[in-house]
Amino acid sequence: MPDTRYLLLAVAVSAAVTWALRALPFAVLASLRASRTVQYLGARMPAGVMVILFVYCLRDLPLTQSRAALAALAVTVGLHLWRRNALLSILGGTVVSVALASSLFAG
């Protein structure tokens, strides 16, 4: 059985490493906020990520299901452009997607 001091030291070292790894991003974040590259990525990445997710979700779908996904996408984009509310547009697009998917598989 390991010595109690050894176990306490192991727990203390693990806690210190965990704390340091969690604090490091916040320490580095202040200097990154002023970076032009980070500002550019912050402005462009959300749209790029959404396009990648959309393509990834549609890549293996049959054409009939792709049309349903495109309809849900149109509803999502339309709601977002109309109301500028992310929750409403995501919820509306999800409802349309689920309704169309269940109607396609019901028959």
Instruction: Give residue-wise pLDDT tens across range 20-51.
Output: 999 998 888 878 888 888 888 888 888 788 78
Burial of 93 (0-12, 13-18, 19+ CB in 10 A): buried
Q: From CA 12, how far away is CA 32, in angstroms rounded?
A: 30
Cα separation, 102 vs 107, whole angstroms: 9
- Name the band, by pLDDT with cuts 50, 70 and 90, for residue 105: low
Secondary element (H or E) of residue 56: helix 36-58
Does the pTM surpass 0.85? The reply is no
Q: At what angle do helices 36-58 and 63-83 cross, to 10 degrees?
A: 140
